[in-house]
Amino acid sequence: MVSGQPWLHRTGRRIAGLLLVLGSLAAGCLATVEPHRAVHLELAGSTSTELLLQQLASAYSDRYDYVTINIEARGTRLGLEALREGNADIAMVSRDLDVEEEEGVEAFVIARDAIAILVNSQNPVDSLTLGQVTDIFRGGIVAWSEVGGEEADIQVLSREDGSGTRQAFEELVMQGERPTLAAIVMPGSAAVGAFVADNPATIGYASAAGIPLGARAVRIDGFLPDLQALSQGEYPLTRPFVLVTMESPGEDVQSFLDFVLSPAGQVIVGRRYGRGR
């Protein structure tokens, strides 16, 4: 036992030395680990895309807690202006880009949305043809009784200039014409839904996602704006949701776009909208 003690001491010293070296290495490694720099993204544009982008932004920030994302829903045109002026990293657009708008930017279709034709829940009219919708918004059909409803004048709601939803609606329904001058102009899809819910004789158009209580979508050419009709291409009034960046977006912007278009991001999209890919 006595002769073994020096060996134990030497072994103990070696182990202690090894632990000291390992501890120093670990401390050195820990000292070089720095928190990720803070990342902030500014998104601006379509009010119709706001709900979806809030959900996507929340999921992305939960995954990367150093990222904050601010969303300003001010309309498609203002979003594109903010992007070009350097006041937004990404523009949220609720229609196809015009040819002149495509210059110097990159566009990513992230979802497909249905434009619902909304009436008050008390309105007995539950189905219209696309031709009837066109005539109503042109001012050619002025009473609900002309389309199977009650004896009441139709009050048409439209959207403001610069709205992507309005431009898509005018292309799909109005063949580029503007709605009747008697239309009340509303500042967003939520405002259209709320007004329809409170006024039984009104009709308006808005994103099919988030229709409020008191309002409902009518069938158009026999189809409701639901996910099934949207995914199968049966509902006639659909438009893309597009994220637009300047050419060659930076790493932080591209990372968010990659998430939105990834399977994880598209699962979020698919809960209420047609998927972009």
CA-to-CA separations, 14 to 24, 46, 120, 242, in angstroms, rounded: 15, 68, 84, 64
- Strands in the chain per DSSP E: 39-45, 67-73, 90-93, 105-120, 127-128, 155-159, 184-186, 202-207, 215-217, 219-220, 238-246, 274-275
Domain covering 39-113+240-275 assigned CATH 3.50.50.60 in the classification: no
**Which architecture, in CATH terms, is 114-231?**
3-Layer(aba) Sandwich (3.40)
Q: Is 210 left (phi over 0), alpha (psi -120 to 50) or beta?
A: left
pLDDT digits (tens, 9 = 90+) for 75-113: 999 999 999 999 999 999 999 999 999 999 999 999 999
**Could you give the percent of the chain with pLDDT greater than 90?**
80
For 38, residues 6+ apart whose C-beta sits below 8 A from its C-beta are 66, 68
210 band by pLDDT with thresholds 50, 70 and 90: confident
Where in the sequence of the chain do the CATH 3.40.190.10 domains occur? 39-113+240-275, 114-231
Q: Which pLDDT score is estimated for 34?
A: 75
How many Å apart are CA 274 and CA 226, to the nearest integer?
A: 9
The pTM of the full predicted model, rounded to 2 decimals, is 0.82
Average pLDDT, the chain: 90
| Beta-carbon-side half-sphere exposure of residue 102 (alpha carbons within 13 Å) | 6
7 band by pLDDT with thresholds 50, 70 and 90: very low
**pLDDT, average across residues 1-18:** 50
List beta partners, residue 159.
186
1 band by pLDDT with thresholds 50, 70 and 90: very low
Closest CA to 48 of 210, 197, 265: 210
Closest CA to 209 of 168, 251, 238, 243: 238
Q: Answer yes or no: are the C-beta atoms of 41 and 253 closer than 8 Å.
A: yes
Higher pLDDT, 192 or 23: 192
Question: Is 80 exceeded by the pLDDT of residue 19?
Answer: no
Q: What is the DSSP string of 70-100?
A: EEEE--HHHHHHHHHTTS-SEEEESSPPPTG
How many Å apart are CA 31 and CA 10, to the nearest integer?
A: 31
2 band by pLDDT with thresholds 50, 70 and 90: very low
pLDDT digits (tens, 9 = 90+) for 220-252: 999 999 999 988 889 999 999 999 999 989 999
Q: Which pLDDT score is estimated for 10?
A: 53
Question: Is 80 exceeded by the pLDDT of residue 269?
Answer: yes
Q: Which pLDDT score is estimated for 75?
A: 92
Q: Answer yes or no: are the C-beta atoms of 179 and 192 closer than 8 Å.
A: no
The bridge status of strand 105-120 relative to strand 127-128 is unpaired
The bridge status of strand 155-159 relative to strand 105-120 is unpaired
The angle formed by the CA atoms of residues 118, 56 and 209, to the nearest 5 degrees, is 10
